[in-house]
Amino acid sequence: SSGALVTAEMVDDVARKHFPPCMRNLYDRLKKDHHLKHFGRLQLGLFLKGIGLPLDEAVVFWRRMFGATMSDDKFNKEYKYNIRHSYGQEGKRTNYPPKSCQQILTQNQPGTQDSHGCPFRHFSPDNLINFLSSTYPSIDKSSNEMRDILDSVKSTHYHVACTRVFEITHGIKKGDGIGENNEPVTHPNKWVDRSRELEKE
Ligand code: SF4
């Protein structure tokens, strides 16, 4: 990670500029519904820890996102412990790392009520097209780029599809990937790190 500190206040801006599709989906759903199911909170929460959101800011962030629909009492009793737990401050005190693409693709397959997982792997083609075109204005529904992405998904090359979205949304050419050696996306946190680096260049 880039080592920079992210506050609860900053998350929205970082999300719009630097979140990969899986995390944009979770964040946007949380913002809209003031709610995420367990594996969604876990996937997004560990990712946020990885981008530099410290524990005290994570508590502020989740409290704010749940909003007035939840009492302080319920938040403190049912959610605060889990946030502290994922930062290694409760229970076995394991400092859980953020999930890699491989883990997100293969573990805990999402049901219909869930928002976790990888959009390339877990969305229907129609949902994927709607999600990508509404989230990223530079990816038009009927563009060649969209066709490219759907072709990669069809052949189960989800990393390739995700890398293509990174390239298009960062104005870099096809095949450049997200690293110095043109790597594909293999970890959501690497997407963020590279995206922040490119912003500075
Ligand atoms: Fe997220 Fe990885 Fe899927 Fe991209 S390929 S959306 S980073 S899980």
Write out the DSSP string of 19-39.
--HHHHHHHHHHHHHS---HH
The owner of tokens 């490219």 is 148
Q: Is there a domain that residue 61 lies in?
A: yes
User: Which residue is closest in CA terms to ligand 1's atom 3?
Assistant: 118
Number of domains in the chain: 2
Q: What is the pLDDT of residue 179?
A: 86
Task: List pLDDT tens digits, range 145-168.
Answer: 999 999 999 999 999 999 999 999
- 152 belongs to a structural domain: yes
DSSP symbols for 94-129: --PPPPPHHHHHHSS---TT---S-HHHHS-HHHHH
Tokens of 155: 């052949």
Q: Could you tell me if 110 and 196 lie in one domain? A: yes
The boundaries of the domain holding residue 82 are: 8-86
Q: Is the CB of 184 under 6 A from ligand 1?
A: no
Q: Quick check: is 59 in a domain?
A: yes
User: What is the structure's pLDDT at 200?
Assistant: 86
Q: Are residues 113 and 61 in the same domain?
A: no
Q: Which of the residues in the chain have pLDDT under 70?
A: 1-3
- Is there a single domain that holds both residue 106 and residue 69? no
Instruction: Confirm whether 51 is domain-assigned.
Output: yes
pLDDT digits (tens, 9 = 90+) for 166-183: 999 999 999 999 988 999
Q: How far is the CA of 162 from the centre of ligand 1 (A)?
A: 6
Query: Do 24 and 53 share a domain, yes or no?
Result: yes
ipTM above 0.95, yes or no: yes
Say yes or no: 188 and 109 in one domain. Answer: yes
Measured distance CA(185)–CA(66) in Å, rounded: 30
Length of the chain counted residue by residue: 201
Structure tokens given for 114: 């869930």
Is the domain of 118 the same as that of 188? yes
**Does residue 120 line the site of ligand 1, with CB under 6 A?**
yes
Let me know if residue 16 belongs to a domain: yes
Q: Which atom of ligand 1 is nearest to the CA of 105?
A: 8
Same domain for 110 and 81: no
For ligand 1, the distance from its centroid to the CA atom of residue 188, given in whole angstroms, is 6
Closest by CA position to 116, among listed 13, 16, 29: 29
> Could you tell me if 129 and 172 lie in one domain?
yes
Is position 28 within any domain? yes
Per-residue pLDDT at 3: 59
Q: Check whether residue 13 and residue 41 sit in a common domain.
A: yes
72 Cα–ligand 1 center, Å: 33
Query: Do both 113 and 138 map to the same domain?
Result: yes
End-to-end CA distance of the chain: 17
